[in-house]
Amino acid sequence: MAETRVLPVGYRFRPTEEELLIHYLNNKHLKNDAEIKNTISQVDLCNFDPWDLPEQSKVKSDDQEWFFFNELKYMKNKRCNRKTNMGYWKITGKERIIKRRGTDSVIGTKRTLVFYEPPHNVKTNWVLHEYHAFDQKVGSCQSNIVLSRVIMNAEKREQKLKTKASNIVEEEEVKCEDEPCSEITGCVTQATTEDAIIPDNACVSSERQQPQVIDYEILSSGEQSSVAHSDNENNNAAEATWRQDADMNIEYFWNLLFSSIDADPHAEFLNSVLAGDDQLYVDSGHH
């Protein structure tokens, strides 16, 4: 268990990358332990899983990041061992060069790693920034002692998930507004009963509806009787109108016929009409 140091209220240990490299890591290489002994502890990151590292930090705070010195250990294949008890650290992205502020002088490099858990290689919220000091005499990073910043991105990850879920909901709402009603589940396109209630948020087509053709085969017996009764009433009304017109025409014809006979008893065209209809012959004097 590392010796802990509690910062006063309102204080935060948030050194810049330049301060981490020039002050802390360089003093570590120079073995000036008096300058850094109460701030950053040295641990073997392979012996701890990331969620166990906060207890090893000398500085205790509510910030979700912790700082450690770590000595890299290389295997026979010259690859660095980054395995822990429950997973492994994996390098992501490219190595970034860090320069002294306001100059082109290189003071170190930075690598970013993410912690994965087997057996399905699940990516976790734990991130590690690994800082390597640059040796100006040699022109490269020679020491195996690095400074590691361990970060827990739980809040950031949750915020991303919430944002993603919110975007999905908004896309679905826009899709419902853009698509035709006939393709949207829950939209009302045709009333099925006389008492059907259309929801307030239902999509209703504004196009003019064509007259509906009645299919008697799909109607119930009661509906068929109702439709048939309506059709019979319409047919009876039409027939009554036709008969009334026919009676008026017949009456008008006979009135015209007899008035003509009275006016001209010898009219041959009238006698021929009567003879052709009733096989009767009307001569003069026989009305």
pLDDT for res 231: 59
State the chain's mean pLDDT as an integer: 74
C-alpha 46/C-alpha 87 separation (Å) is 10
What's the predicted TM-score (pTM) here? Answer: 0.53
- What pLDDT sits at residue 60? 80
Nearest alpha-carbon partner for 121 in 164, 146, 161, 92: 92
Q: What is the dihedral of CA 231, 232, 235, 236, to 10 degrees?
A: -150
The span from the CA of 277 to the CA of 275, in Å, is 6
Which amino acid is it at 256? L
pLDDT at 130: 96
Q: Specify the pLDDT at position 10.
A: 78
Question: What pLDDT is attached to residue 200?
Answer: 53
Q: What percent of the chain is modeled with pLDDT above 90? A: 34
pLDDT for res 150: 96
Residue 266 structure tokens: 């010898």
Q: How many CA atoms lie within 13 A of 53 on its CB side?
A: 30
Pull the structure tokens for residue 233: 């009433």
DSSP H helical segments within 136-220, as ranges? 154-178
Return the pLDDT at 126.
Answer: 97
Partners of 211 in beta bridges: none
Alpha helices in 21-123, H assignment, sequence order: 26-29
> Residue 164, by phi and psi: left (phi above 0), alpha (psi -120 to 50) or beta?
alpha
| The two structure tokens encoding residue 104 | 């082109």
Question: pLDDT (tens digit, 9 = 90+) per residue, 48-59?
Answer: 999 999 999 998
Tell me the C-alpha distance between 16 and 60, whole Å: 18
For position 4, what pLDDT does the model report?
66
Positions in the chain short of pLDDT 70: 1-5, 136-142, 155-162, 164, 172-235, 238-239, 242, 244-249, 251, 253-254, 256-287
pLDDT at 204: 46
**pLDDT at 184 (0 to 100):** 44
CATH architecture group of domain 17-152: Beta Complex (2.170)
